[in-house]
Amino acid sequence: MGKPKIYITRKIPEHLLSPFNDRYEINMWKDEKTPIPEEILFERVKEADGLLCLLTEKIDRKFIEHASHLKIIANMAVGYDNIDVAAAKNKKIIVTNTPDVLTETTADLTFALLMATARRLIEATNTIYHDEWGDWSPFMLAGTDIHHKTIGIVGMGRIGEAVARRAKGFQMNVLYHNRTRNIHAERQLQATYVSFDKLLEESDFVVSLVPLTEETTNLFNQNAFQKMKESGIFINVSRGGVVDEDALTEALKQKTIRAAGLDVFKNEPINSAQPLTKLKNAVLLPHIGSASVTTRENMLTLCLENIDLVFQGKTAKTPVY
Ligand code: NAP
Ligand code: GLV
């Protein structure tokens, strides 16, 4: 029997592959920046025993039925809403994700985005680049305080807790909402469990860190934004699909909420045609939550380790089911 065939949907650094090269026949897409076209991926995955894919790939039922040799799909992300897990399970294909290794890096970015939005950092920088820095004045670019304010975290899981730890350093009051109570966060971080509505009503910062599921699709809709304080700031680092972007755009335009910081969007990548880009009170990032070199390398290594374990007949480190 030949070596198991692994397909990787983006060009990744050789030094990460070298520990595995002897045992596997590894092929990958030639480009680091551009996703593999769907029809080419379909062709390449036909004979593959293992797949390392990114969140840009839609691994649906049709794909899974077509890729009949697959034993493992290792997703380079903690979120796995791009994969039809039920269809994979049905075919006894293991699906793995990359929890923990990206938690602190994503929490850093979440807090950076919260601070940039509250203190209007992008707007401020742009006054220099666009020669608009007039004389200093009392309320020039005055923003919102962060310290001692209330942060409401929707999705108090791994990243939610790491954000709450950062918030404690700013003497913030921490509220959270999950489907089940997180006793660890309550004891260690003095986080208070509240209903979704109460969180919206009482938080100065509403932070979304929930996975995208049927239940959370458009969770942050017109109704939710109406419940937020007029001075409230909305931060989303989970998935664009949890937000009704039209309702958010309207809330920002009408100033029924003060500002929003978004790392994720319904249809990525967005460009300057996206109505949110026209708003000064929106800070937009191109899905860079886990983007530090070390963390991205750790995520890829974890994917490769999961694949390796499965082909050794062992349990993957981070299976999603
Ligand atoms: P996690 O540990 O599983 O935390 C998710 C939390 O969401 C859990 O506490 C869960 O609690 C809660 N939750 C799930 N469904 C819910 C619902 N219907 N209503 C309320 N709360 C709900 O996951 P994580 O590692 O923190 O990652 C969270 C998400 O962040 C990922 O799924 C991914 O989409 C996103 N992410 C984005 C980036 C980025 O680059 N922007 C990077 C990493 C992760 P219950 O089960 O008790 O409800
Ligand atoms: C990134 O968005 C992830 O889910 O890891």
Q: If you measure from the C-alpha of residue 158 to the centroid of ligand 1, how many angstroms do you get, rounded to a whole number?
A: 8
Q: What is the pTM of this model?
A: 0.98
Supply 33's token pair: 């920046």
* Mean pLDDT value across the chain: 98
Per-residue model confidence (pLDDT) at position 82: 98
Supply 155's token pair: 């999705």
Q: If you measure from the C-alpha of residue 211 to the centroid of ligand 1, how many angstroms do you get, rounded to a whole number?
A: 4
Q: If you measure from the C-alpha of residue 71 to the centroid of ligand 1, how many angstroms do you get, rounded to a whole number?
A: 26
pLDDT in tens, 101-117: 999 999 999 999 999 99
- Alpha carbon distance 103, 107 (integer Å): 6
Supply 152's token pair: 């409401």
pLDDT in tens, 8-53: 999 999 999 999 999 999 999 999 999 999 999 999 999 999 999 9
Query: Using an 8 Å Cβ cutoff, are 52 and 6 in contact?
Result: yes
Query: Using an 8 Å Cβ cutoff, are 236 and 263 in contact?
Result: yes
Q: Which fold has domain 5-99+293-311?
A: Rossmann fold (3.40.50)
**Which residues are registered as beta bridge partners of 233?**
205, 259
Q: Whose CA is nearest to atom 37 of ligand 1?
A: 238
Supply 161's token pair: 């807790």
Mean pLDDT of 123-130: 97
Per-residue model confidence (pLDDT) at position 265: 98
DSSP 278: G
Nearest atom (ligand 1) to Cα of 263: 41
Nearest atom (ligand 1) to Cα of 211: 32
Q: Which residue type is seen at 134?
A: G
Closest ligand (CA of 76): 2
Q: If you measure from the C-alpha of residue 244 to the centroid of ligand 1, how many angstroms do you get, rounded to a whole number?
A: 18
Burial of 46 per CB tally in 10 Å (0-12, 13-18, 19+): middle
pLDDT in tens, 183-211: 999 999 999 999 999 999 999 999 999 99
Q: Is the CB of 152 under 6 A from ligand 1?
A: no
Q: Which segments of the chain belong to CATH 3.40.50.720?
A: 5-99+293-311, 103-284
Per-residue model confidence (pLDDT) at position 51: 98
Mean pLDDT of 70-91: 98
Q: If you measure from the C-alpha of residue 114 to the centroid of ligand 2, how many angstroms do you get, rounded to a whole number?
A: 18
Mean pLDDT of 49-75: 97
Q: Whose CA is nearest to atom 47 of ligand 1?
A: 180
- Alpha carbon distance 49, 55 (integer Å): 19
Residue 148: pLDDT band by 50, 70, 90 thresholds? very high
Q: Is the CB of 179 under 6 A from ligand 1?
A: yes
Q: Whose CA is nearest to atom 4 of ligand 2?
A: 79
Q: If you measure from the C-alpha of residue 258 to the centroid of ligand 1, how many angstroms do you get, rounded to a whole number?
A: 25
Per-residue model confidence (pLDDT) at position 188: 98
Q: Is the CB of 153 under 6 A from ligand 1?
A: no
- Alpha carbon distance 304, 82 (integer Å): 19
Q: Is the CB of 180 under 6 A from ligand 1?
A: yes
Residue 170: pLDDT band by 50, 70, 90 thresholds? very high
Q: Is the CB of 156 under 6 A from ligand 1?
A: yes
Residues with CB under 6 A from ligand 2: 55, 77-79, 102, 289-290
Second CATH level (architecture) for the domain 103-284: 3-Layer(aba) Sandwich (3.40)
Closest among 247, 241, 238 to 276, alpha carbons compared: 247
Degrees to nearest 5, angle at CA 168 with 167 and 170: 65
Q: Whose CA is nearest to atom 36 of ligand 1?
A: 238
Degrees to nearest 5, angle at CA 250 with 127 and 79: 85
Per-residue model confidence (pLDDT) at position 1: 73
pLDDT in tens, 268-307: 999 999 999 999 999 999 999 999 999 999 999 999 999 9
Per-residue model confidence (pLDDT) at position 67: 96
Active site residues: 239, 268, 287
